Amino acid sequence: SFNSFEVGNEIDSAVEEALHEGRTVEIKSEKLKTLSTIEMGDLIGNKLKDRLKA
């Protein structure tokens, strides 16, 4: 069944994971690759899909 609290936690976790791999121009980091907004959205989306499949 759908639990919005659990899904919210999975979204937060997916965003955190993505931020360890790259940043957008607005929040760039010298240590991480710079991604376009679309690339960051795709990265977060893929991480979220992987988390929800598990």
Domain around 24: 4-53
Residue 6: pLDDT band with limits 50, 70, 90 = confident
pLDDT of residue 54: 72
Total tally of structural domains belonging to the chain: 1
Q: What are phi and psi of 22, to 5 degrees?
A: -170, 170
CA separation for the pair 12, 14 (Å, rounded): 6
What is the structure's pLDDT at 1? 53
Structure tokens at 49: 């899909």
Give residue-wise pLDDT tens across range 12-47.
999 999 999 999 999 888 899 999 999 999 999 999
pLDDT band at 2 (very low <50, low <70, confident <90, very high): low
pTM over 0.75: yes
Partners of 23 in the β-ladder: 34
Asked if 33 and 21 count as a contact pair (C-beta separation under 8 A), the reply is yes
